[in-house]
């Protein structure tokens, strides 16, 4: 890839109609702008070849900014199959220790998307700051096609997949594995799993609160929240937790098929026997009397 704008096209350096063959050394990845320039004959093959020898992303840790055009007063965040409705105020879908991983911020009547997804080393993988998107260049492969950004850590290994559906005022995080302060969260289209204690949330819908899911030691830092989960930050078998999550998400999806969600209004509490990692969990609609939450499944090992 010779440049950093995340709209990509594979193209021959020397035109195919001239060389009449496909060779890896003669194929590079161009952004949409440079692809058009080359097609019109305004970008010489010599320039493309020189840039191909020293790709843009090799000398930078992140891509150039890409603007997302969200607007209005209402939006949705779909995180691992759990739906969060944003209406007339700023809302976070997931917080860890009071820090928001994904939220919509209402600024002067405009919707601003913020995303902070990091790997287990704390390095940024995908960042959106007030509708300006950049992503890391240190992983294996990136593809931004239409509205969907896919980041892979290896051949066939999806790291993050996010659809930025600006026309529907929605962002959908359907695949991913992100970390913050020792907390690891796995996203699947059918569920969201906190790997540290293998707590799984699927099929929920939240509206009217400042945050949907809060993870951390101090619930007071989260503010009004639908679900708060305290966890132990001790070591755990990451690979075993991922395998458990994927199996339980599959089982949950099969059990939920054909069963409509049940809506509840006002304060509610869900209790669970003390486990090795889970301290407590609450589902609460205060202080917004008009808050609603429909619960799918919440599961522990």
Q: What is the pLDDT of residues 101-139, one digit of tens each?
A: 999 998 887 899 999 999 888 888 889 999 999 877 666
Q: Which residue has the tokens 């890839």?
A: 1
Give the H/E segment covering residue 49: helix 45-53
262 pLDDT more than 70: no
Residue 216: predicted pLDDT: 84
Of 247, 240, 220, 218, the closest CA to residue 231 belongs to 218
Residue 162: predicted pLDDT: 96
Average pLDDT over residues 218-236: 78
The two beta strands, 99-107 and 262-265, are unpaired
Q: Tell me which of 72-81, 114-123, 163-172, 273-282 is least confident.
A: 273-282
Residue 95: predicted pLDDT: 93
Most confident of 73-77, 202-206, 283-287: 73-77
Give the confidence band of 239 by pLDDT, cuts at 50, 70, 90.
very high
User: 255 vs 212, which has greater pLDDT?
Assistant: 212
Q: Tell me which of 25-29, 145-149, 216-220, 288-292 is least confident.
A: 288-292
Q: Residue 150 gets which letter from DSSP?
A: E
Q: What is the mean pLDDT of the chain?
A: 76
Estimate to the nearest angstrom the gap between the alpha carbon of 173 and the chain centroid.
Answer: 4
Token pair recorded at residue 242 = 């991922």
Residue 10: predicted pLDDT: 57
| Spatial distance between the Cα atoms of 104 and 55, rounded to a whole number of angstroms | 34
Query: By the 8 A CB rule, do 187 and 82 touch?
Result: no
Average pLDDT over residues 154-163: 79
Give Cα separations from 6 to 32, 37, 71, 149, 292 (angstroms). Answer: 8, 16, 22, 9, 38
Residue 258: predicted pLDDT: 57
Residue 261: predicted pLDDT: 42
Q: Encode pLDDT of 163-184 as tens digits.
A: 999 999 999 999 999 999 999 9
Residue 287: predicted pLDDT: 33
Residue 121: predicted pLDDT: 86
Residue 161: predicted pLDDT: 93
Of 175, 178, 201, 171, the closest CA to residue 189 belongs to 175
Based on the number of CB atoms within 10 Å of its own CB, is 231 exposed (0-12), middle (13-18) or buried (19 or more)? buried
| Spatial distance between the Cα atoms of 62 and 108, rounded to a whole number of angstroms | 29
Token pair recorded at residue 199 = 């707590």
| Spatial distance between the Cα atoms of 120 and 72, rounded to a whole number of angstroms | 35
Can you give the pTM of this predicted structure?
A: 0.72
In the chain, what percentage of residues exceed pLDDT 70?
A: 72
Domain ranges of the chain: 8-59, 66-299
268 pLDDT more than 60: no
């Amino acid at each position: 890839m010779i440049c950093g704008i995340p709209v990509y096209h594979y193209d021959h350096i020397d035109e195919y109609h001239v060389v009449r063959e496909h060779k890896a050394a003669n194929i590079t990845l161009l952004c949409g702008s440079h692809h058009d320039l080359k097609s019109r004959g305004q970008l010489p093959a010599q320039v493309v070849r020189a840039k191909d020898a020293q790709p843009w992303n090799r000398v930078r840790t992140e891509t150039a900014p890409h603007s997302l055009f969200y607007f209005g007063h209402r939006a949705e965040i779909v995180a691992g199959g759990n739906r969060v409705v944003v209406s007339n105020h700023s809302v976070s879908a997931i917080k860890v220790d009071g820090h928001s991983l994904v939220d919509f911020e209402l600024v002067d009547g405009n919707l601003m998307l913020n995303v902070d997804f990091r790997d287990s080393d704390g390095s940024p993988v995908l960042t959106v700051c007030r509708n300006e998107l950049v992503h890391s260049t240190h992983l294996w492969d990136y593809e931004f096609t239409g509205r969907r950004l896919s980041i892979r850590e290896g051949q066939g290994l999806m790291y993050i997949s996010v659809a930025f559906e600006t026309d529907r005022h929605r962002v959908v995080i359907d695949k991913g594995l992100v970390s913050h302060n020792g907390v690891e969260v796995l996203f699947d289209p059918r569920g969201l799993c906190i790997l540290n204690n293998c707590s799984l949330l699927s099929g929920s819908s939240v509206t009217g609160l400042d945050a949907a899911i809060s993870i951390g030691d101090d619930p007071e830092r989260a503010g009004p929240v639908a679900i708060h989960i305290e966890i132990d930050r001790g070591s755990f078998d990451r690979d075993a937790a991922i395998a458990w999550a994927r199996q339980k998400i599959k089982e949950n999806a099969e059990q939920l098929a054909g069963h409509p969600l049940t809506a509840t209004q006002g304060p509610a509490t869900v209790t669970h026997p003390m486990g090795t990692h889970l301290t407590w969990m609450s589902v609460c609609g205060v202080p917004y009397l008009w808050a609603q939450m429909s619960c799918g499944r919440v599961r522990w090992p």
